[in-house]
Chain A
Amino acid sequence: MRMAAWAALFFAGGFLAIRLLAAMYAFLDLFGRLRSAWPGLLARLATWILVAGAMLVFAGPGFRSAVVLGAASLLVWYLAAFALRHLLVRRMPRLLPPPG
């Protein structure tokens, strides 16, 4: 039972990381419309930060690590994927620019 709860909170941590990342990315995605969109974006970010905080508080010391580990794992995977995707793209010889 404890193991299942730990796993559930681990995945919940991953889910939270996805939502937090998306809330932060939203500033980039809507950069051209920040003048009108910023209140909504801030509210979204604040909401997910609050949810994450609440989860950490209510998880208790025994399960807090599960949430943190889940979020950290997702973050590490997300960053690693950007490096690893280069392995899926074949290198091609470079064309020298025309003289002048």
Chain B
Amino acid sequence: MSADTRQTAPARVVWLEAIRAADAAAVGAKAARLGELLSRGHPVPPGFVVTADAYREAFAVLPPDADRRRALAEAELPEALKAAIHSALDRLTRDHGSECAVRSSATAEDLAGASFAGQHGTYYHVGRADVLQRIRQCWASLWAPEAVAYRGARGIDPASVAMAVLVQQMIPAQVAGVAFTADPVSGVRDEVVIESCWGLGAALVDGRVSPDRYRLARAGLRVRERRIGDKRLMVAPQRIEDGVGRLREVPSALRRQETLSPLLARQVAELALGCESVFDAPQDVEWALAGGRLHLLQSRPVTALPDDRPSPKRPGAYVLFKPVIENFTEPMTPLTADFFGMLKLPGLIQIDGWLYFDVGLIGRFLPLELSPQETADLLYLSRLPHTPGVAWRKLPAFLCALLFVQATLGTVWARLRPLPEDFMEAFRHLCDGVARDRRYGPVEAFRRLWLLPRMLDPLGRQPLLVNVVCGRGFVWMALLRFLLGRWLPGRPPDTWSRLLTGEPGILSAEMGREIAELAALARSQPAVVALIEKGADASGLDELRRVASGFVAALDAFLAHSGHRTVRELELAASRWDEDPVQVLGLLRAHNVTPHGAGPGMPGAHDPAAARAAVEAEVERGLADRFLERALGLRGRAIRAAAVEARRFLKLRENSRHFWIMAFRVVRRKILEVEERLLAEGRLKCRGDIFFLRWAEIVEQASGRWGWPEVEERLRERRLTHLRRSRTPPPRTIGIPEGDTVEQPAAAQRVMLRGQPASPGCYEGLARVVLDAALDVELRPGEILIAPFTDPAWTPLFLTAGAAVVEVGSFLSHAGTVAREYGLPCVVDVAGCTTRIQSGTRLRVDGSRGLVEILEEAPA
């Protein structure tokens, strides 16, 4: 330690400016690093350290059989030490406000392989009277069970660790977060990753919020990517004395607002890179922004980079279950996973919050000679690089499976035929009934509405079953392609998909048009436009009810039939549009910034039925020369029948989703009722935590056997795990060599991205990468929408775009279905398109062949 004259007691209380990196054994790694950074001119808040020797002395006099944690928390400090701390406090609070932050700084912290992040005590807004107690609590936190287990798991000798305590100026952060100079998940080292939230950074470190995430290229610090999180909660920058905890709801208008401007993001990145240059290794930096100034709160080595991380060993081969993945940007919360896990469907497995197909099991029933990689290709991409041979030995199993399916679902197919278009409205009534009936808890409601319909239920009350049986549409699609290929080999290859467009009454497409109409109505009322542009919150909605009752009536009518939908609608933790109508106002914002009537999907801009009729006429003309076709027209009838059936099933499949999602709203409401009860009883402390518990744990809590202490630590761990898993997309396959599921010739990769055709047609234009439908409203008419996935919240953008390219999806996904109805070319399943393509890149999208050609890169 440097011989600084401001040491107020021999090696027990030391000011930060006297500390260097080499002093870690005396002041702990955190304080040593901060001292070094302060000495190099970085904006570290001033403070002092109660050294590890003070801890050692307190520890040495503990009775041998004492509970160390409790004994340390109650230890009496020597008078000399107390005097030294008070003296240092006097100086700190005189110059830098009456409150300080008390933070642990263990001597084993921030080792290269173990960060100890969140393991030890940290206290904010500590007044002078509480400082000694908080110091003792920091000491005691070294012996918290989770910290002991963490050290044990990493082979760190408990006796070798001591705890210094850092007392610093309290920074009342308006925005705070972390910055990594290497991606902690992918290991990519040419970019800086920043996560930020409103208020103090504790909400982020505890995993309480979905932070905003920025990726900046290390060279030039240009923002490569920004994803704006739904920041529902924050730790307020000021001390709050209402006794209900420090977490606060973020005002609606701020929840989806980004926390960092590009300039601030660059400043944070510069700060992090400065720390890296001091320690010559990738750094994980905690920072805070207060009063327009950046403060550096911590810098430690990035731990658990991919090459350091143990790879999970799981026997078998799995591929992502696409019908679910295409609507999930994050893994399922534990409660949602628990509810999905109620269904023990062979072949379906949950891994780290994602749903996967068991390729091995499914491969046993497919009568084709396929390797696991090819089976995964078929299940995920619905395509194969070559025509496989027939596996005759698997034929009996396949025929048995067919018989089983026909015997089980045949009645449903037969029942579907005479039903009118709106037959599933019955499910809405059933949902209303179950929602009102207090005998149904969340589980019972889920079983009644989703898993176990009754034998005498009308089919309209079983939309999930309808969705499942609509898989038959694949057979009709395959037949249609086969017939066209056989009788009209010269026709363009997208003829079959053109014959599948123009089916009226697809609810998700109608919904998009209704949003466009709402936006048009909003545009006619300046008060509404002003509020939407400002970013309305709940109070703004109340104001709207007063000043624009006509618009609100239209909004209410929209919510009455589509209010159960939302972003990530299969996630129980996701609030629905009717719960939080401000989300819909966010969608309208996308329309208010674009001129009226733009885009091929806008009402009146494209007539898909007329386009299909033209293709049907061409097909008939093409068949006319065939033997006896003019007289009997058998081939034409066969093609028409296959197309009609395929369209019917495609439409039913998309529409049934509109209804079965209603079950999730009912179950969510019931869960929120339970949460309300647990909050009132003090068994839970924070809204939203219930989704990080498993159902059995909720029952334990509701029965009174468990309280808050039993769940506090597991909630924290699960939130952090969820946050970590959310940072990266899940592996497309497990147990199958990566890369084998994507066919992308290396030579073509530079200019051509390959995906699945989802809506036919070619389009050339400028790309606009949109990562968040509620935020990135800059999409201009005719631009090509580049999106990570789509769900109903994206529908309005389809009305404005000239074409769409989507990272995850399929022919039957929301993106494909809506794009076909709006008549814009769409390619789905284009791996990495949101990172490979920059906004402003000139593209040619070939929705018929599933190709995206990069014509001209975006200007730098």
Contact = CB atoms under 8 A, between A and B. Distances in A.
A89 B423 contact: no
Contacts of B688: none
A86 B439 CA distance: 20
A41 B250 CA distance: 57
Interface stretch (B93-101, B455-463, B520-528, B613-621): B455-463
Nearest to A74: B407
B456 A28 contact: yes
Interface stretch (B281-289, B296-304, B413-421): B413-421
B441 A94 contact: yes
Given A93-B699, A95-B441, A95-B702, A22 B419 contact: no
A92 interface: yes
B344 A31 contact: no
Given A25-B411, A29-B423, A40 B441 contact: no
Interface in B379-416: 407-408, 410-411, 414-415
Nearest to B459: A29
Contact of B343 (A14, A21, A88): A88
A96 B702 contact: yes
A82 interface: yes
Given A14-B407, A22-B414, A97-B441, A88 B699 contact: no
A88 B345 contact: yes
Nearest to B339: A92
A62 to B, nearest CB: 24
Contact of A25 (B344, B345, B459, B674): B459
Contacts of A30: 418-420, 423, 458
Interface residues of A, number: 36
B699 A90 contact: no
Contact of B452 (A18, A26, A89): A89
A82 B453 CA distance: 9
B372 interface: no
Contacts of B674: 95
Contacts of B338: 92
Nearest to A26: B418
Interface string B432-452: 000000110111000100011
B610 interface: no
A22 B415 CA distance: 5
A22 B411 contact: yes
B418 A77 contact: no
A2 interface: no
Contact of A86 (B442, B452, B698): B452
Interface string B317-341: 0000000000000000000001001
Nearest to A21: B411
B442 A77 contact: no
A83 B677 CA distance: 35
Contacts of A15: 410
B703 interface: yes
B699 A77 contact: no
Given A77-B407, A90-B344, A95-B441, A40 B414 contact: no
B699 A95 contact: yes
B263 to A, nearest CB: 51
Contact of A89 (B343, B457, B702): B343
B456 A93 contact: no
Contacts of B414: 18-19, 21-22
A44 interface: yes
Contact of A96 (B344, B458, B460, B703): B703
Contacts of B149: none
B698 to A, nearest CB: 7
A94 B447 contact: no
Nearest to A48: B414
A35 interface: no
B763 interface: no
A90 B418 contact: no
A90 B442 CA distance: 14
Given A22-B414, A44-B418, A92 B696 contact: yes
B695 interface: yes
A86 B455 CA distance: 13
B826 to A, nearest CB: 35
A92 B415 contact: no
B547 interface: no
Given A93-B696, A95-B674, A18 B459 contact: no
Contacts of B419: 29-30
A94 B74 CA distance: 42
Contacts of B1: none
Contacts of A87: 344
A8 to B, nearest CB: 14
Contacts of B451: 89
B638 interface: no
Interface string A33-74: 100010011001000000000000000000000000000001
A60 to B, nearest CB: 26
A96 B438 CA distance: 11
B361 to A, nearest CB: 15
Contacts of A77: 407-408
B342 interface: yes
B730 to A, nearest CB: 23
Given A77-B407, A98-B677, A82 B343 contact: no
Contact of A97 (B410, B438, B442): B438
A81 interface: yes
Nearest to B696: A93
Contacts of A32: 426
A89 B447 contact: yes
A87 B342 CA distance: 11
A6 B338 CA distance: 47
Contacts of A85: 452
Contacts of A89: 342-344, 447, 451-452
B458 A29 contact: yes
A82 B702 contact: no
Given A95-B441, A96-B703, A81 B408 contact: yes
Given A14-B407, A96-B702, A97-B441, 9 more contacts: A22-B417, A28-B457, A30-B423, A78-B408, A88-B343, A89-B451, A92-B696, A95-B702, A98-B677
Interface of B: 338, 341-345, 407-408, 410-411, 414-415, 417-420, 423, 426, 438-439, 441-443, 447, 451-452, 455-460, 674, 677, 695-696, 698-699, 702-703
23 contacts: A18-B411, A22-B411, A22-B415, A26-B418, A30-B419, A30-B458, A37-B418, A78-B407, A78-B411, A87-B344, A88-B343, A90-B344, A92-B338, A92-B342, A92-B695, A92-B696, A93-B699, A94-B441, A95-B443, A96-B702, A96-B703, A97-B441, A98-B677
Interface of A: 14-15, 18-19, 21-22, 25-26, 28-33, 37, 40-41, 44, 74, 77-78, 81-82, 85-90, 92-98
4 tightest CB-CB pairs across the interface, nearest first?
Answer: A22-B414, A18-B410, A95-B441, A93-B699
